[in-house]
């Protein structure tokens, strides 16, 4: 069996943790399995490098930034090779150049295009544990690139796909995917299995365990993902194409606190208004999440949308700069809102899920400020103060602790 294991920055933050990871990999190796390990930069190293760069150049060229950042993962893999040597197991560390990991050309946010597997296969045949730098790649100019957020997870899934690995284990600081954040809902239950689509919705909604980019890739190539803890040997959650006959109605409840709602009131009700608004915002490189447009009335309509609170001021700025061309009557900003979502493939054939969720919130006396739904998800916007109670009440209402 061939297993790809990915460990994040906290899992390799110091000597003790590096050896913890090394021992886990050696255990797998000693079962006779092929092991490919993908590592992130140690602990806060990436942040330290960014600070170092910004001290030199507040707006560092992205190419140089990637050249600098990739030293983080290279440090991790070199030290891991040394740790495995102490444990007496042959291991070899490889950078994106050595593998090679081909990406698109864009720096700081490249996408993986192709992975050469020859070197890795050769090293696996030599019975070595292969340790690969996550997060990084090489573009057609022969320059280092980095993959942006969720990059190391994506490296791991892409390697698993390219090597036709039997599974891809993503090690994290939680035991797996839960029906809700256990810090909010103590009765939250770990899921043994979840489908790619459900995981995607949870990831997008800020459940934080996996980045949706890696889940998308796993779904596309049918890579079996396992989310598990680097701190214990519990089984974790398997993410795959679940084909149970009786699906659970709802798999979990997710919350994302860092939202701000921006509403443009009294826009003209004519074609192209929404396009113009979101084009301006996209060009400012601001991600928009929920979007809601009121039904037009008296030739006027309102558009509300949520953005990450970090980008709220920037979004407001570009809107005000374009006041004349957007022609709105008023813009209102509501900070400190939270998105609460229920996710479950079962709800496709169960129209009562949304109503049930609204009932739970009503019973808890929580005001709903915005609603958005997809086939397997219902999301509502509530005041941030109500967030924890909202999650708890929905978790209780759907009986997820059982």
Please say which residue, 86 or 245, places its beta carbon nearer to its own copies. 86
Please say which residue, 51 or 329, places its beta carbon nearer to its own copies. 51
Segment lying near its own copies (by CB under 8 A), choices 81-89, 158-166, 208-216, 347-355: 81-89
Phi, psi of 339 (to 5 degrees): -100, 130
Please tell me whether residue 85 binds its own copies under the rule CB under 8 A. yes
Please say which residue, 15 or 127, places its beta carbon nearer to its own copies. 15
Counting residues that bind its own copies (by CB under 8 A) gives: 36
For residues 27, 7, 85, 133, the Cα torsion angle rounded to the nearest 10 degrees is 140
Residue with tokens 């953005």: 307
C-beta of 129: minimal distance to its own copies in Å?
12
DSSP type of residue 190: B
Please say which residue, 78 or 265, places its beta carbon nearer to its own copies. 78
Please tell me whether residue 60 binds its own copies under the rule CB under 8 A. yes
CA 79 distance to own-chain centroid: 27
Mapping DSSP to helix (H, G, I), strand (E, B) and coil, where does residue 178 land? strand
Phi, psi of 14 (to 5 degrees): -150, 180
Cα 255 to Cα 91, 186, 354, 383, 395, distances in angstroms: 41, 15, 16, 12, 11
Residues with Cβ within 8 Å of residue 45, at least 6 apart in sequence: 9, 72, 75
Please tell me whether residue 67 binds its own copies under the rule CB under 8 A. yes
Contacting residue, 3, 36, 37, 79, with its own copies by CB under 8 A: 79
Task: Give the contact letters, 140-159, x = binds to its own copies (CB under 8 A), - = no.
Answer: --xx----------------
Please say which residue, 93 or 341, places its beta carbon nearer to its own copies. 93
**Of 119-138, which residues contact its own copies (CB under 8 A)?**
119
Side by side, the strands of the sheet bearing 225-229 are 91-94, 129-133, 34-39, 2-7, 167-172, 225-229, 237-240, 193-195
C-beta of 53: minimal distance to its own copies in Å?
6
Residues near its own copies, by CB under 8 A? 15, 18-19, 49, 52-53, 55-57, 60-61, 63-65, 67-68, 70-71, 74-75, 77-79, 81-83, 85-86, 92-93, 95, 97-98, 119, 142-143
């Amino acid at each position: 069996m061939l297993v790809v294991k990915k460990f994040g920055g906290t899992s390799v933050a110091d000597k003790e943790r590096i050896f913890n990871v090394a021992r886990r990999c050696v255990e797998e190796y000693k079962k006779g399995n092929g092991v490919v390990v993908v590592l992130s930069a140690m602990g806060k190293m990436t942040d330290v490098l960014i600070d170092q760069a910004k001290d030199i150049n507040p707006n560092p060229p992205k190419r140089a930034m990637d050249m600098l950042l990739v030293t983080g993962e290279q440090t991790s893999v070199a030290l891991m090779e040394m740790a495995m040597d102490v444990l007496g197991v042959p291991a070899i560390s490889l950078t994106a150049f050595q593998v090679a990991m081909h990406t698109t050309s864009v720096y700081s946010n490249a996408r993986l295009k192709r992975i050469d597997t020859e070197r890795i296969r050769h090293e696996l045949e030599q019975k070595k544990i292969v340790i690969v730098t996550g997060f990084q790649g090489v573009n057609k100019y022969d320059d280092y690139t980095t993959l942006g957020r969720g990059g190391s997870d994506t490296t791991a899934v892409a390697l698993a796909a390219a090597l036709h690995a039997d599974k891809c284990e993503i090690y994290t600081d939680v035991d797996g995917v839960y029906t809700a954040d256990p810090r909010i809902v103590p009765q939250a239950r770990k899921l043994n299995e979840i489908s790619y689509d459900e995981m995607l919705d949870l990831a997008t909604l800020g459940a934080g365990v996996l980045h949706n980019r890696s889940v998308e890739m796993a779904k596309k190539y049918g890579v079996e993902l396992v989310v598990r803890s680097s701190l214990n040997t519990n089984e974790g959650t398997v993410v795959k194409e679940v084909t149970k006959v009786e699906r659970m109605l709802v798999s979990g409840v997710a919350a994302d606190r860092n939202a701000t709602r921006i509403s443009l009131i009294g826009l003209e009700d004519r074609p192209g208004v929404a396009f113009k608004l979101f084009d301006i915002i996209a060009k400012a490189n601001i991600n928009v999440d929920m979007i809601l447009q009121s039904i037009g009335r008296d030739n006027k309509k309102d558009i509300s949308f949520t953005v990450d609170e970090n980008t709220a001021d920037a979004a407001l700025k570009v809107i005000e700069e374009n006041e004349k061309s957007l022609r709105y009557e008023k813009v209102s900003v509501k900070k400190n809102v939270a998105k609460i979502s229920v996710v479950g493939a079962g709800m496709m054939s169960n129209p009562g899920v949304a109503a049930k969720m609204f009932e739970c919130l009503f019973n808890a006396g929580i005001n709903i400020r915005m609603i958005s739904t997809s086939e397997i998800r219902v999301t509502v916007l509530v005041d941030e103060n109500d967030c924890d109670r909202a999650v708890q009440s929905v978790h209780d209402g759907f009986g997820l602790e059982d």
